[in-house]
């Protein structure tokens, strides 16, 4: 992992060996890593909660807990800097806690007030949550997708506005993304260069480079998703391809 990668998404260099040691059960190293990261964690909490002083707040506790979880779940295979990985985990937890707090305020009766937060497993079983399928592990895959997009200066929020609405355009993007994701070498090269090989894809599709370049963000996202472990998304794309006889 290069130093350049470490700088992405609040990523600050931290020894991956220390994380691995902490994962293996070295409590002292874990405490050291956490202690060293406290100012950075506080900074993250301040950013997400818009509070100046975050000491002794629920948000800080949740962030510390999320950081501890990140240490446990971190994997070097994903090639994501630890700080980047931990930052996304902390952000997700803080958002989830915030939404949960808002939801409790809206929906819970007074008799439920002493129950405390609903355990995650219970929430998944709740039919009102509208969750069709829950895979906790897929969070890591999503973090990877988000990280890879960030290498190209893209965010999911920004992509929503520019994602094609017309089916024909969508099929065109899927076709291009499939070419990119199926060729591992080309995909790796793309990730390494952080540039979409527009000409190469255009040549393979017998299309103009201009059209490929116009939809480059969509093609990149679809290719990254197709390369990820998110099998649900891959199945959606496969169904579309089948419908379009690609």
Neighbours of 176 (CB within 10 A): 26
Nearest to 191 by CA among 244, 151, 142, 246: 151
Kindly state the smallest distance separating residue 63's Cβ from other proteins, in Å: 15
Q: Which of residues 207-236 bind other proteins (CB under 8 A)?
A: 221-222, 225, 230, 232-233, 236
Residue 96 touches other proteins, criterion: CB under 8 A: yes
Half-sphere exposure of 18 (CA within 13 A, CB side): 16
User: Do 200 and 219 contact (CB within 8 A), yes or no?
Assistant: no
Return the residue of 163, 204, 211, 213 that touches other proteins, per CB under 8 A.
Answer: 163
Rounded to a whole number, what is the largest CA-CA distance in the chain? 65
Return the residue of 61, 72, 76, 124 that touches other proteins, per CB under 8 A.
Answer: 124
Cα distance between the two ends of the chain: 36
Kindly state the smallest distance separating residue 236's Cβ from other proteins, in Å: 5
Distances (CA, A) of 103 to 60, 66, 92, 124: 20, 21, 16, 15
Taking the C-alpha atoms of residue 19 and residue 74, their distance in angstroms, rounded to an integer, is 8
Q: Which of residues 9-48 bind other proteins (CB under 8 A)?
A: none
Kindly state the smallest distance separating residue 114's Cβ from other proteins, in Å: 19
Residue 169 touches other proteins, criterion: CB under 8 A: no
Return the residue of 21, 47, 138, 152 that touches other proteins, per CB under 8 A.
Answer: 138
Residue ranges binding other proteins (CB under 8 A)? 92, 95-96, 98-100, 102-103, 118, 120, 123-124, 126, 129-143, 145-146, 156-157, 159-160, 163, 165, 170, 174, 221-222, 225, 230, 232-233, 236-237, 239-240
């Amino acid at each position: 992992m290069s130093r350049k990668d470490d700088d992405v998404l609040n990523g600050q260099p931290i020894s991956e060996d220390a994380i691995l040691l902490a994962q293996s059960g070295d409590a002292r190293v874990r405490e050291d890593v956490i202690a060293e990261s406290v100012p950075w964690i506080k900074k993250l909490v301040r950013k997400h909660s818009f509070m100046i002083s975050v000491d002794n707040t629920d948000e800080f506790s949740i962030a510390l807990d999320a950081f501890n979880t990140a240490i446990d779940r971190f994997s070097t295979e994903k090639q994501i800097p630890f700080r980047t990985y931990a930052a996304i985990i902390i952000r997700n937890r803080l958002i989830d806690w915030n939404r949960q707090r808002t939801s409790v305020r809206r929906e819970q009766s007074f008799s439920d007030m002493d129950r405390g937060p609903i355990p995650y497993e219970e929430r998944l079983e709740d039919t009102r949550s509208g969750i069709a399928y829950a895979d906790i592990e897929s969070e890591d895959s999503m973090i990877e997708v988000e990280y890879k997009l960030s290498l190209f200066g893209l965010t999911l929020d920004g992509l929503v506005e520019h994602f094609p609405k017309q089916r024909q355009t969508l099929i065109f993007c899927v076709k291009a993304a499939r070419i990119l994701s199926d060729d591992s070498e080309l995909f790796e090269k793309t990730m390494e260069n952080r540039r979409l090989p527009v000409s190469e894809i255009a040549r393979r599709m017998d299309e103009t480079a201009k059209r490929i370049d116009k939809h480059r963000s969509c093609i990149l996202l679809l290719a990254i998703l197709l390369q990820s472990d998110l099998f649900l998304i891959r199945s959606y794309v496969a169904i579309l391809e089948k419908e379009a006889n690609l």
